[in-house]
Structure 1
């Protein structure tokens, strides 16, 4: 029991450290992407932290299995390097018992991952989808910030307002620059610049929104050329486009797991098998990681780290590929993702018993040579 507690503590500490680092890296990358959309006026900056909070369960469901895999490699690798595993092996600690001890913290991780993948993650994705849908209904006028140049339409339009009322009804000191593209959008036809003393938003009966400019000028021409056309206007209307927010979220990812059971829809079957595969993945990678963690103290603890990561990536990539094949009906649901788990389970069992099989084969060869 003392050995079990010691191994579990070492494993969980390393798992927590690795998972925290991976979570920070992944969330930082995704936050930068959302921050870029907010800078373009596609998202309200006030919802960024809320979106990241709702996306966290979806990140953790994939981070925790990888954190467990790397945790076993690093924690047990250190024990091998310090010859602690050699001492434990001398007292009767076999590879099979080490796997059994490792399955206890792996079960905790699997239960947590199952709760995330089948409960919290779909709820969080549903909340994110609702937030992004609400943001998608906003116009350039709704996301405009005074005193800041705001890029819209992939940089083809730049808008600036000097002042903006609290209820966003009135604007002052407006500047709008827009590139005029050809019909195939492959070549610029020039640039249009609008300046106005004030402006207001007007909603038409068909739901379209216009920015009505007052007392200003319109300039049309090509940069670098002197052939510009200047028009003075008293009233000018500009159609406000709706920002297109890239959600990267499918509708089935937000469906509660209870609604996926018993469904005949192949897409729902693929989603259900994926959610069940992630907790199952935890047990299989534990079986793979324990024999991979065994290193020679002279070789160093990182010798098998790269091959182990490549094996894990092959496992996860094959699951993702089979999920896509199942989603498109290329493989039967009965086969689904399960054969991938069986394949890597067999690989793990072979790695676990490889040493004993090798010794048995060597003994048979020695016996055969002796009798001969």
Structure 2
């Protein structure tokens, strides 16, 4: 009877702990995501003003950007949730009471382990498919808006100088079909060289893969002036590309990067890929991205285990300082991960070693610290600080 009642109490405790972890996770995730999106909105303010976006367009773009941020935010929120939950329990002496009732720290593991595992699975799903979905739709939406809103494309009879050093003029513009009539393009971006392109007709298209607006001109002339000489060249078809990244600061819509690809697309890239032939670093970036898609989901479990004994060691710490402490620990983790990313892309260290090393180090430290906390041999840092402060004051008297 006593054993059944004890198991019932443990089950009830696990449920309450899991509920607290979920509520803290929702609060941390919402707060961090809001802060990042607000910061991103400030970076993209020129884009929003140029495209004349309404609230629905902005919300849609933020939804598409969210998966990329969530892959990094979810491990932070997971770590903060576990840390704050156990910090509260240790500060309120709940852990002491549970130990006095015969409950060990290891018996509290099922709820946080299940919670961290679910966070890791969510992050894994977003990493393998959600990021590619979000970035693909973000790129497509920006290009679609850029094609349909004349403010960044062309207005008939108006000289467009949105891109520095480039002037585009068309007497007639059909926004529905993209057809242009009597087109003039002046390129002064090159030093000591001026290029003037005249064409009776043209076509406006978009290249989503490269993030560019493309002007295709037909049956025109190119006037090139260099110092005191002028040369004229006839052409049948000529292409002028406008990079949206140059038009709007804060948005990068160049060639599709490995971080924008899905898991299946990354797996299909080999040495024979066209981009790998042009850029020797491209294949290394792909290998780094393949490892990263699994490292960050696993970080949820690793950082969650690390946060439990960390909270026990800082028993009595204020919640505000606790958040700063946990964020500081994650900053250390992310710094190590960034080193692994850079060394993997440069080829100095294999990606499988550089990217997984932070997880292994934090897991080893977390398990060691957890074992020490279970045997009550872990150092209570806050108590040590308080006693050291009291000792200093006594000596000063």
- Give the TM-score normalised by structure 2: 0.63
Cα 1:251/1:165, change in 2 over 3 Å:
closer
Describe the shift of the 1:47–1:297 C-alpha distance in structure 2 as closer, same or farther (beyond 3 A): closer
CA contact (8 A) 2:340 2:351 kept: no
Q: In the alignment, is the contact (CA less than 8 A) between 1:62 and 1:278 conserved in 2?
A: yes
Deviation at 1:302, TM superposition (A): 4.6
Task: Quote the Cα distance in structure 2 between the aligned partners of 1:93 and 1:296.
Answer: 21
Aligned residue in 1 for 2:131:
121
Counterpart CA distance in 1 for 2:254 and 2:113 is 35
1:276 aligned partner: 294
2:244 corresponding residue in structure 1: 244
Judging changes above 3 Å, is the alpha-carbon distance between structure 1 residues 298 and 30 closer, same or farther for their aligned structure 2 residues? closer
Correspondence for 1:347 among 348, 365, 378: 365
Select the residue among 287, 311, 317 that pairs with 2:305.
287
- The answer to whether the Cα contact below 8 Å between 2:163 and 2:242 also exists between their aligned partners in 1 is no
Distance 1:168 1:299, change over 3 A: same
Q: 2:104–2:374: 8 Å Cα contact kept in structure 1?
A: no
Higher helix residue share: 2
User: Alpha-carbon deviations, 1:151-198, whole Å to 9, x = none?
Assistant: 8346x9999xxxx999799xxxxxxxxxx99959xxxxxxxxxxxxxx
| Unaligned stretches of 5+ residues in structure 2 | 1-10, 179-187, 193-199, 205-214, 219-239, 246-251, 271-282, 379-397
Q: In the alignment, is the contact (CA less than 8 A) between 1:81 and 1:297 conserved in 2?
A: yes
The 1:334/1:52 distance shift into structure 2, 3 A limit, reads closer
Match of 1:310 among 328, 331, 348: 328
Match of 2:39 in 1: 29
Query: In the alignment, is the contact (CA less than 8 A) between 1:266 and 1:326 conserved in 2?
Result: yes
Query: Is it true that 1:51 corresponds to 2:61 in the alignment?
Result: yes
Hey, what's the Cα distance between the residues in 2 that align with 1:79 and 1:287? Answer: 16
TM-score of the pair, normalised by structure 1: 0.67
Distance 1:92 1:277 in 2: 37
Give the match's secondary structure for 2:29.
Answer: helix
Residue correspondences, number:
308
Residue equivalent to 2:108:
98
Aligned to 2:216: 207
Alignment CA distance shift 1:113-1:166 (3 Å):
closer
String of CA shifts for 1:193-212, please: whole Å, max 9, x gaps.
Answer: xxxxxxxx963897259xxx
Residue pair 1:80, 1:295 contacting (<8 A) in 2 also? no
**Distance in 1 separating the partners of 2:154 and 2:268:** 47
Give 1:2 deviation, angstroms. 0.2
User: Is the Cα contact below 8 Å between 1:22 and 1:63 reproduced in 2?
Assistant: yes
Contact 1:292/1:304 (CA < 8 Å) preserved in 2?
A: no
Query: In 2 relative to 1, CA 139–280 (structure 1 residues): closer, same or farther, beyond 3 Å?
Result: same
Q: Are the structure 2 counterparts of residues 242 and 44 from structure 1 closer, same or farther at C-alpha, using a change threshold of 3 Å? A: farther
Give the aligned partner of residue 9 of structure 1: 19
SS at 1:203's partner residue? Answer: strand
Choose from 293, 300, 316 the match for 2:318.
300
Residue aligned with 2:353, SS: coil
Report how far residue 109 of structure 1 moved: 0.8
Distance 1:108 1:141, change over 3 A: closer
- Partner of residue 94, structure 2: 84
C-alpha deviation, 1:282, in angstroms = 0.5
The alignment partner of 2:46 has SS state of: helix
**Conserved? CA contact 1:139–1:242, under 8 Å:** no
Structure 2: distance between partners of 1:123 and 1:253:
11
Change in CA separation of 1:77 and 1:244 when aligned onto 2, cut-off 3 Å: same
Report if aligned partners of 2:340, 2:354 keep a CA contact under 8 Å in 1. yes
What are the ranges of 5 or more consecutive residues in structure 1 without an aligned counterpart?
A: 170-179, 185-200, 210-239, 361-372
Distance 1:131 1:89 in 2: 56
After superposition, the C-alpha distances for 1:56-97 in whole angstroms (9 at most, x for unaligned) are: 111222212111111122222222222222222222332323
